[in-house]
Structure 1
């Protein structure tokens, strides 16, 4: 971001010529070698003191999702069993996160039942084979998800019955959207959240 002096007058209101720079409204015609240096003589090709800049650097917004079988949940199951999953969201970035929408894509060999203990109090919403929920302050979070922190939510899915022996069922979850702690939508630094 660049700022520059355009014009100036003396205390009588008479226009003045600067001794060592050329005030104007053209930001690209000034010599700027060092930020905050006002000792140069712009007329000699040194840093002009009527013109200066200040830089800012944006921080990374980066959330990661890991889906796990819950502690104590066996990977070997029978048709009709209810499987307990844990979805963990980790803030790997430098910006606090809120309003994190996660989606669980229910596979064809499973069903989501909202009345199952655990699902009914978890805030999930089911439509067309997809289950979503928002992780936010006041619900799972006491404050925005800070860099380095993680949050977990549970989901329970029931296997169809019957299913052929040896059927492998893969259940996938992902982050759809998220905001910073001011509610502003953010773009993830190293992935493309979508549905």
Structure 2
């Protein structure tokens, strides 16, 4: 009988350890499990005071049933508090997606006043070489205007740069295009996630 009593005590210790592990998952479940374990420990002491072995064993069995029921109720309550994804599916990551397309194009640079002035001066000098009198004046003005326009266009071409356009298909169905002024090293099918106003591989 003493051996059976010690076995029951070992079972109590194991159940208490299990409740402690579960405590890390849900604070309310942890509290309920600790209360059940404390109550079971008190019942165990009372069972030890029973006058005969048969009564002690029956007392321990009853105490164990009460403990198991308390832990089961706490577990059920914990499960009801856990968030359940809709339709049984994992929640969709709104910032996660895959690269759907990568294209390289040229972005025309912006002309500045320097290009306009330089072109205008060069055009005026060339126009000034044409004709004489009023004709020369008109040629100078026309050369300045044409040179300014040409200088602006030339500067735009000189400042033209490559850009990488990366189209991302998000897990939630949205699409978005990101523009890089350098090669981001991404390819079709790469998994990416938003990082600030850009994306990185995940």
* TM-score, with length taken from structure 2: 0.25
TM-score w.r.t. length of structure 1 = 0.25
Q: Taking CA–CA contacts closer than 8 Å with sequence separation of 6 or more, which of the two structures ends up with the larger relative contact order?
A: 1
Higher helix content, 1 or 2: 2
